[in-house]
A and B are shown apart, each in its own frame.
Chain A
Amino acid sequence: MSEPALVLEDLHHTFFPGSPSEQRALEGVDLVMEERDFVMVVGSNGSGKSTLLNVIAGTLIPDHGRVRIGGRDVTRWPEWRRAGLVGRVFQNPVSGTIGRLTIAENLAVAAKRGIRHGVLRNALGRSRRRELADHVRELGLGLEDRLDTPVGALSVGQRQALTLLMATWVRPTLLLLDEHTSALDPGSTEQIIRLTDRIIRSQGLTTLMVTHSIQQAVALGDRVLIIHRGRVVESIGGARKRRLRVEELLDSFDRLRSADLVDQSAAEMVRRLYI
């Protein structure tokens, strides 16, 4: 049995500690993902799901806890070094590609993710270009004929499709999807979701996908995590996940929300009585 693809141990992170705007984003998150797991993460705004993703990707170094990817402790690795193991698609379609460079140039950079050789080789030689074109054809967007178009000229949907292709070009140990359809119109969303599913299945990728969409959380993946106030409060997997319906997941959210209200009114009462 090989090492799990991702292990998170007791992650804690607090923004602005000790100040009035102190914000405890992660309060002890544990998670194990085996290879080929496809995990969906849902949670309301401010629940800590973005922080979680940033800690895994290396954008943030956690105050406490460990991140292991593919058996390696990467907790203190800078983001660029971790990128050899992690492919990432951002919420903003502009974030994951370099708008000033052409499609071919973007792909050439992605094709070298985590690989270091031939630094002074022509990045876009003839054979490399043919390889890029073949790969892009799989997207079915007609981009293979526009290899020399700057990426900035593409639509957001096309750009996000390209980002997805770039993030998975070199097979990542872990694929992170950060609400990657939330900036797209319904048509593009549909297209990107289908592409996401196809790429993950065909390459057998281990994927952690954060989403705002309950429908996506229900329809995709083989486990759903509900994150609330920096903790994983519910994990729905196996047969229960397969049977899961949208209403059921929404009920879970409502329960959390009402629990919150009780918390807040209790705190208010304590304040009135004692301060």
Chain B
Amino acid sequence: MNLLIGSLSMGFLLSLLTLGVFITFRVMGRLDLTTDGSFGLGAAVAAALLASGVHPLLATVAAAAAGWLAGATTGLIYVVLGIDTLLAGILVTTGLYTIQLRTMGGGNRSLSATRTLPEVAEDAWRALRLPETVTLGETSVAASLFSALLVCVLFVLFSIWVLARFLRTDLGLAMRAAGGNPQAARALGLDTGVMTTLGLVLANGLVALAGALFAQYQGFADVSMGIGMIVTGLACLVLGEGLLGKGTLRRQIVGTLTGTIAFRLLVAAAVRAGLPADTLKLATALFVLAALGVPAVLTRMRGRMDRTPADLSRFRQRIDRIPADR
């Protein structure tokens, strides 16, 4: 049961990462490699601020703001210098490695001696005189585990609520339009460069928030913890889409949460089933490959494709077959 609660907490907080990947990959139609850097950056900023005695809540928000800056940097490189976001993201992530080292004053930082957000939640739990253990079915769960889960749930539900509302405003809609069809968006008066940057800012804020919560949850920050996070985020995203489909915006947003939790539960189940720890990386990589590959194969078999380049070229061929009327 403890493992389950742990997986749930991890699933909730990492769903912020998935939400970030959803914004860049699905809404803006771009693969943003800044994700790896801003996840680590969020963890590093939170760790450094916590160590200097800043309140955990403030440190967490500051970490998200650092993610906004990382996203804005990638966006500006793209808009001002005209370098594609893919390369811009790689450059920013590479640069951020040094910034993380400097921020933390080393390759990793333990948070065992500092007060973190889960501990704040635990104190609040005690202050409210809630029971020391929560009984779920036949097992009992320590209050600390449960309050940590609640913190993650609160952060995630709040972020999802804000994001879902934002995407329905005029500005949010403009951003989705710019990501969906840049040519049409420009013809409708939208500055697609600014909109892309906005998407990157929002996404990387969420990713850095995930990094900050992740570090506090596991009790340490490490400079390498962001490596491969874009792939994990993608896997959770695609898994969620496989489970819930991508019919509506609401479905997609709920899907990021569902997919991430399902992914974490799968990992936990694999570990429980006796998967040796040293094969976890390979297993994750294979799972990611399957998660990304299988739905694509399935949709192709179902022949129910969104507008892909292949679709468009078929469409053009159809146009060419229509005789000119002159």
The answer to whether A94 and B315 touch across the interface, beta carbons within 8 angstroms, is yes
Q: How far is B192's CA from A78's CA once the two chains are assembled, in angstroms?
A: 11
Residues 266-291 of B, flagged 1 when their CB comes within 8 A of A and 0 if not, give 00000000000000000000000000
Name which residue of chain B comes closest to A84, CB basis.
B189
A residues within 8 A CB of B302?
none
Residues 120-155 of B, flagged 1 when their CB comes within 8 A of A and 0 if not, give 000000000000000000000000000000000000
The answer to whether A119 and B169 touch across the interface, beta carbons within 8 angstroms, is yes
Chain A to chain B contacts (Cβ below 8 Å), 11 pairs: A83-B189, A88-B187, A95-B183, A95-B184, A99-B181, A109-B190, A112-B170, A112-B189, A119-B169, A121-B169, A123-B172
Name which residue of chain A comes closest to B167, CB basis.
A123
A residues within 8 A CB of B169?
119-123
Kindly list 20 other residue pairs between chains A and B, CB separation below 8 angstroms, not including A120-B169, A166-B188, A182-B319. Answer: A80-B189, A81-B189, A81-B191, A90-B187, A98-B176, A98-B177, A98-B181, A98-B185, A99-B180, A100-B176, A101-B180, A105-B173, A118-B170, A122-B168, A123-B169, A123-B173, A152-B306, A152-B307, A167-B187, A214-B326
The answer to whether A96 and B319 touch across the interface, beta carbons within 8 angstroms, is no
Distance (whole angstroms) from the CB of A132 to the closest CB of chain B: 13
B residues within 8 A CB of A110?
188
Q: How far is B187's CA from A167's CA once the two chains are assembled, in angstroms?
A: 8
Q: How far is B188's CA from A110's CA once the two chains are assembled, in angstroms?
A: 6
The answer to whether B181 and A95 touch across the interface, beta carbons within 8 angstroms, is yes
Give the contacting residue for B174; candidates A94, A109, A167, A213; CB below 8 A: A109
- A17 lies within 8 A of chain B by Cβ: no
10 A-B pairs with the lowest CB-CB distances in the bound complex, closest first: A83-B189, A98-B180, A119-B171, A100-B180, A123-B173, A113-B189, A98-B181, A80-B186, A183-B319, A79-B186
- A140 lies within 8 A of chain B by Cβ: no
B residues within 8 A CB of A87?
187
- A207-251, CB < 8 A from B: 212-215
The answer to whether A109 and B173 touch across the interface, beta carbons within 8 angstroms, is yes
Q: How far is B322's CA from A186's CA once the two chains are assembled, in angstroms?
A: 9
Q: How far is B183's CA from A83's CA once the two chains are assembled, in angstroms?
A: 11
Q: How far is B191's CA from A152's CA once the two chains are assembled, in angstroms?
A: 23
Q: How far is B50's CA from A43's CA once the two chains are assembled, in angstroms?
A: 69
The answer to whether B190 and A123 touch across the interface, beta carbons within 8 angstroms, is no
Give the contacting residue for B177; candidates A79, A84, A101, A121; CB below 8 A: A101
Distance (whole angstroms) from the CB of A49 to the closest CB of chain B: 14
With an 8 Å Cβ cutoff, the count of chain A residues facing the other chain is 48
Name which residue of chain B comes closest to A211, CB basis.
B326
Q: How far is B188's CA from A80's CA once the two chains are assembled, in angstroms?
A: 7
The answer to whether A80 and B325 touch across the interface, beta carbons within 8 angstroms, is no
Binding site for B on A (CB under 8 A): 57, 78-81, 83-84, 86-88, 90, 92, 94-101, 105-106, 108-110, 112-114, 118-124, 152, 166-167, 182-186, 189, 212-215
Q: How far is B280's CA from A69's CA once the two chains are assembled, in angstroms?
A: 62
Give the contacting residue for A212; candidates B166, B189, B324; CB below 8 A: B324
The answer to whether A109 and B177 touch across the interface, beta carbons within 8 angstroms, is yes
Name which residue of chain B comes closest to A125, CB basis.
B168
The answer to whether A213 and B188 touch across the interface, beta carbons within 8 angstroms, is no
Give the contacting residue for A80; candidates B170, B172, B190, B306; CB below 8 A: B190
B residues within 8 A CB of A186?
325
The answer to whether B173 and A80 touch across the interface, beta carbons within 8 angstroms, is no
B residues within 8 A CB of A184?
322
Residues 303-320 of B, flagged 1 when their CB comes within 8 A of A and 0 if not, give 000110000100110010
The answer to whether B189 and A114 touch across the interface, beta carbons within 8 angstroms, is yes
Distance (whole angstroms) from the CB of B192 to the closest CB of chain A: 7
A residues within 8 A CB of B181?
94-95, 97-100
Which residue, B171, B173, B192, B324, has most C-beta atoms of chain A within 10 A?
Answer: B173
B residues within 8 A CB of A99?
180-181, 307
Q: A100-B180, A213-B326 are in contact. Are A113 and B173 (CB under 8 A)?
A: no
A residues within 8 A CB of B174?
109, 112
Q: How far is B324's CA from A213's CA once the two chains are assembled, in angstroms?
A: 8
B residues within 8 A CB of A112?
170, 174, 188-189
Q: How far is B231's CA from A76's CA once the two chains are assembled, in angstroms?
A: 41
Q: How far is B186's CA from A113's CA once the two chains are assembled, in angstroms?
A: 10
A residues within 8 A CB of B324?
182, 212-213
Name which residue of chain A comes closest to B190, CB basis.
A80
Distance (whole angstroms) from the CB of A247 to the closest CB of chain B: 12
Q: How far is B190's CA from A113's CA once the two chains are assembled, in angstroms?
A: 8
The answer to whether A212 and B325 touch across the interface, beta carbons within 8 angstroms, is yes
Q: How far is B181's CA from A90's CA once the two chains are assembled, in angstroms?
A: 13
Q: How far is B183's CA from A152's CA once the two chains are assembled, in angstroms?
A: 15
Give the contacting residue for A83; candidates B173, B187, B319; CB below 8 A: B187
Name which residue of chain A comes closest to B192, CB basis.
A80
Name which residue of chain A comes closest to B189, CB basis.
A83
